[in-house]
Amino acid sequence: MYRPILKVICWFLLVRSTNLQLLINVKNQGGDVMQENITANVSEDTVTLDFVRLDGVFVSQLVDFTNEVEAMKVVIPGEEELGQARHQALCFLTHSAQADFIAPDAMAKLRQKNPGTVRVAEEDRGWRQTTATAWAGRAARLLSPAAARHCAAAGDQVFLRATDLTRWAPRPGMEQYSSLVSSFPERALAAEGAPACEPRTPADHDCVCHFEVCVNWYPCGLKYCKGKPQGGLSYRCGIKTCHRCYRYHFYVKTRSSCPSFT
């Protein structure tokens, strides 16, 4: 009668042993040292990277490998003396084909020999620009339950782009996803539509906002070394690390909703 319970306990211990949480000291491009927290969840097939910028902005990037969804969440603290809200949260969903994190099962096997070491990325992968075209709405839960939970704090400020919806199209029930998103108004999507948010834009006018995020260090690939001449087989002998910045463009109904100009 105890076998089912024993199986559950063994499964729980196995999952815990194959998950990973690392705290990494990272030097940014300005020479400042920050801490990143990386979590690999093998049971959910996700990787999450969290850090707090020097300006107090909390950044959390999740990659759902099974559902091919990448979610970038930012939580921006408000200025109480200026009458702003305590914080503002935004989340951006994109197709994860370009997400170059190593997979959770490989990430879960990483170990730090020197936890106090300050890391610097080996490769700079430049900028990736994303222009959102819609609010995700209830489609987020269908696209990726893990990403929907990740973005819950952002409320209705979860953004995606139509081109990614077409990339998720082969999934069963894709037509339902499309009907659940809320496209930006035509004014925001037209080439000469809503203007960019600027300091001189009236606070109650709509505009196109942008927000930038840089991830200073993340495992972006596996390294393989050749074995002894007799065998000649290659084996995994380390990881490759990268730096990447993201620039998100998205429509806001009032300039006061744009974190760059609040």
Please tell me the predicted confidence (pLDDT) of residue 105: 87
Answer whether 227's CB lies under 8 Å from 233's CB. Answer: yes
d(CA 128, CA 8): 43
Please tell me the predicted confidence (pLDDT) of residue 174: 65
pLDDT band at 215 (very low <50, low <70, confident <90, very high): very high
Please tell me the predicted confidence (pLDDT) of residue 3: 45
The pTM assigned to this predicted structure is 0.85
% of the chain surpassing 90 pLDDT: 50
* Averaged pLDDT score across all residues of the chain: 83
What does the pLDDT average to over 16-44?
84
Q: Is residue 45 scored above 80 in pLDDT?
A: yes
129 - beta bridge partners? 247
Tens digits of per-residue pLDDT, 103-127?
898 888 777 777 788 999 999 999 9
Residues 6+ away with beta carbon under 8 Å from 32: 54
Please tell me the predicted confidence (pLDDT) of residue 11: 33
Strands (E), the chain: 20-27, 33-41, 46-52, 58-64, 69-77, 87-95, 118-119, 123-131, 134-135, 158-160, 182-183, 207-226, 234-252
Tens digits of per-residue pLDDT, 62-110?
999 999 999 999 999 976 655 556 789 999 999 988 668 888 988 887 7
Q: Is residue 167 scored above 80 in pLDDT?
A: yes
Residues 6+ away with beta carbon under 8 Å from 51: 26, 34, 35, 36, 37, 58, 59, 215
Write out the residue range of the structural domain in which residue 23 sits: 3-261
What does the pLDDT average to over 249-255?
93
What does the pLDDT average to over 189-199?
80
SS3 (DSSP) at 44: coil
d(CA 21, CA 109): 10
Q: Is residue 38 scored above 50 in pLDDT?
A: yes
What does the pLDDT average to over 11-34?
70
Span of 137-146, 210-219, 225-234 with lowest mean pLDDT: 225-234
Q: Is residue 159 scored above 60 in pLDDT?
A: yes
What does the pLDDT average to over 229-239?
69
Q: Is residue 20 scored above 80 in pLDDT?
A: no
Please tell me the predicted confidence (pLDDT) of residue 223: 80
> Residue 90 to residues 156, 193, 232, 233: CA-CA distances in angstroms?
9, 22, 49, 46
**How many domains does the chain divide into?**
1
Sign (positive/negative) of CA torsion 217, 25, 247, 58?
A: positive
pLDDT band at 46 (very low <50, low <70, confident <90, very high): very high
